[in-house]
Amino acid sequence: MQTENSIFARLTELKLIVVTGKGGVGKSTLTSVLGRLFADAGRQTFLVEVDPRENLHQLLGVPPSGGDIVEVAPRLRVQHIEPRTILDDLVREKLKVDVVASKVLASPVHKHFTEGAPGLKEAAVFGRILRLLRGHTPRGIPTPDVVILDAPATGHGVSWLAAAQLVADVISSGPIGHLAAEVAAFLKDNQQSGVVVITTGEEMPVQETLELIHSMRIRLNQAPELVIANALYPTLPPEIPAEGEDPLFDLWYSRRQINDSELERLDEGWLGPLAELPILPIEPGPALVGRLSRYLKRELETGS
């Protein structure tokens, strides 16, 4: 039974969820999973990805977005956003005369600035997301209740989350300064936006997760809404065969031992909500997303 104060209920109140974590831990998979759950719960849900490899569509079983908003299921849509394109659009919007806009866009100064300015691309992506949430969607496409951003692997630190503030600190006026300040305020507002961190039960991802939580606290005075420990091996049975008797069992045993000790370490450093998901022998695609959705729903409804 879903309780009033379950994690799921809390997550569904948010307008923006940023899914982040180390490379390859399941960010795109769980962005898709969260999308399914929210759409099923009646929320108009947009999934946004910025990774040029574009892989959400494969997980959801639809054609690649290529920049368009693609409908996946009732109330579930996906869009690939190219940060560069947004910045170019911004220039076009502000410089209404096409010839001038084309000149600016082609100029090395513009290219240099948009490529090199720290945080600019990230702030622009969040700016686009804010516009979607405010109803600036193409004709016939509903305003999303929630946007889930499949954020790129950031390595250590909080670069994606801190980017807008960084820009706002440097550029205080003009359209970009304005946008960055608005985005930074939105990301700080924990009634509207939240972070979900994905990890696996392995040493490096757990280490990065603990470091991310630490730097979120120190630099942003924030904490994730939820940490998901993904792709865990099944818990071990009471009867353990002797080592060498069954190589497959030995593999399972050693993987799960690592999972156990890393989950323990995570538990010591993270006192907030934690969901655990199994590793499933299913290829990336809608079947994997569907199965994981059922597991995650159960985890989130217990209100742990």
Ligand X SMILES: Nc1ncnc2c1ncn2[C@@H]1O[C@H](COP(=O)(O)OP(=O)(O)OP(=O)(O)O)[C@@H](O)[C@H]1O
The residues of the shown chain that bind Mg ion, judged by CB under 5 A, are 27-28
Count of residues touching ligand X (by CB under 6 A): 18
Would you give the DSSP letter of residue 179? H
Residue nearest ligand X, Cβ-based? 284
Minimal distance in Å, beta carbon 24 to Mg ion?
8
Beta pairing class for 274-278 and 226-232: parallel
Among 2, 9, 10, 51, contact with ligand X (rule: CB under 6 A): 51
Which does residue 29 bind out of Mg ion, ligand X, none, counting CB within 5 to 8 angstroms by kind? ligand X
Q: Minimum distance from CB of 11 to Mg ion (Å)?
A: 20
Query: CB-wise, 165 or 293, nearer to ligand X?
Result: 293
Q: Which stretch binds ligand X (CB under 6 A): 25-33, 74-82, 100-108, 110-118?
A: 25-33
Tell whether the torsion through CA atoms of 152, 156, 157 and 159 is positive or negative.
negative
Contact 46, 79 (CB under 8 A): yes
Q: Which of 231, 274, 275, 296 binds ligand X (CB under 6 A)?
A: 231
Q: Which is nearer to Mg ion, 25 or 162 (CB)?
A: 25
Contact by Cβ (8 Å): 277, 259: no
Q: Should residue 20 be labelled a site residue for ligand X when binding is judged by CB under 6 A?
A: no
Give the distance from CA 281 to its chain's centroid. Answer: 23
Q: How far is CA 247 from CA 146, 233, 278, in A?
A: 46, 15, 21
Stretch 281-300: interaction string toward ligand X, x if CB under 6 A: ---x---x---x--------
Dmax (CA) of the chain: 77
Segment (H or E) for 199:
strand 193-200
